[in-house]
């Protein structure tokens, strides 16, 4: 039987150009993906004035069904991001969720997919501002496997600090803020690692380059608080729920020192892209035994089973596409 990790490796690799196949949604209608274009003068292209979400859909061959994971919660978070950049979304969370289902049906996608909603300042303007600018909204989807290795990732703490809430707030998925992530991940890759780990301006652990971070220590699952300049992750919330329900673990949100990562029993990343990605090495040091630990393995197995519909629990987290 093919394992979850093997299935993910078979999916299209991250970093390849996205094929403009099928349909996209843009500014009120479905259009051929290849026709979903913006002007080179678009405000969001010049200044990063956009917000987005990343949403996973998991194909279950036995059910002949594509399950979109925590769809409503993603659009609820997008609405919160929209308040930061003064963007008006073209519908409620329920209405936008229905657009995702319709897009996936039109594309007939029967594989694991990644859905990207994007709302942005669409005006052709050089004015550096947020108000009084025409807005746009687009939605597209494409096949995607693993974003980070799920069979043992390596990480380094980056020299780039996480942007503070007083500068560019990390709790919103603001397109321009991902320059911070790009710089950090590029540095990590140059140092031979899969992922970067940010520290806050005062030296506390924040999160991964594109993921939240968990540590297992002294029998508890520990993660930085939402005040540590992190994205308030939907997968993070799922992990904390499953850890309490499945493993009976105490889940603690608190500040984490950098050196605590060196003495942790386990580390793993979580996120829509990252999913559950155990970290086996940080800053040249083995994490615990240097192998995937029992907590990360169990949580990964349960997470994938729930998201893919093989585990019937939490049906409210799964939106079927073809039913």
Q: Which residues are catalytic?
A: 173
Q: How far apart are CA 203 and CA 285, in angstroms?
A: 19
Backbone φ and ψ of 298, nearest 5°: -65, -45
Tell the residue number behind the tokens 């729920």, with chain if given. Answer: 241
- Please report how many Cα atoms fall inside a 13 Å half-sphere around the Cα of residue 111, on the Cβ side: 12
Closest CA to 256 of 207, 195, 184: 207
Residue 271's closest CA among 231, 225, 224, 309?
231
In sequence order, which residues have a C-beta less than 8 Å from that of residue 147 and are 6 or more positions away? 14, 210, 271, 273, 274, 275, 277
- DSSP-assigned letter for residue 165: T
Cβ–Cβ under 8 Å, residues 59 and 144: no
Instruction: Report, in angstroms and rounded to the nearest whole number, the Rg of the chain calculated over CA atoms.
Output: 19
For tokens 């939490």, the residue is 314
């Amino acid at each position: 039987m093919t394992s979850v990790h093997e299935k993910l490796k078979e999916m299209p690799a991250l970093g390849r150009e996205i094929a403009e196949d099928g349909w996209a949604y843009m500014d009120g209608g479905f259009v051929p993906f290849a026709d979903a274009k913006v002007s080179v003068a678009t405000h969001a292209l010049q200044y990063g004035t956009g917000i987005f979400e990343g949403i996973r859909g998991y194909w279950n061959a036995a059910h002949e069904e594509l399950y979109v994971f925590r769809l409503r919660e993603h659009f609820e978070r997008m609405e919160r991001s929209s308040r930061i950049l003064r963007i008006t979304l073209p519908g409620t969370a329920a209405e936008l969720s229905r657009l995702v289902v319709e897009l996936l049906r039109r594309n007939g996608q029967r594989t694991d997919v990644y859905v990207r909603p994007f709302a942005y300042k669409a005006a052709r303007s050089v004015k550096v501002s947020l108000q009084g600018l025409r807005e746009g909204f687009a939605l597209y989807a494409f096949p995607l496997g693993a974003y980070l290795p799920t069979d043992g990732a390596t990480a380094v703490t980056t020299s780039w600090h996480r942007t503070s809430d007083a500068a560019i707030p990390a709790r919103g998925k603001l397109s321009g803020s991902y320059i911070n992530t790009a710089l950090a991940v590029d540095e990590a890759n140059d140092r031979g690692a899969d992922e970067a780990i940010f520290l806050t301006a005062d030296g506390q652990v924040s999160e991964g380059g594109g993921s939240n971070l968990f540590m297992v220590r002294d029998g508890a699952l520990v993660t930085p608080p939402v005040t540590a300049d992190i994205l308030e992750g939907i997968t993070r919330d799922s992990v904390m729920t499953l850890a309490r329900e499945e493993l009976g673990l105490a889940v603690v949100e608190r500040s984490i020192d950098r050196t605590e990562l060196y003495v942790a029993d386990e580390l793993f990343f979580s996120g829509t892209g990252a999913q559950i990605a155990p970290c086996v090495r940080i800053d040249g040091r083995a994490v615990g035994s240097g192998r995937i630990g029992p907590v990360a393995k169990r949580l990964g197995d349960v997470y994938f089973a729930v998201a893919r519909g093989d585990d019937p629990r939490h049906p409210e987290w799964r939106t079927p596409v073809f039913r």
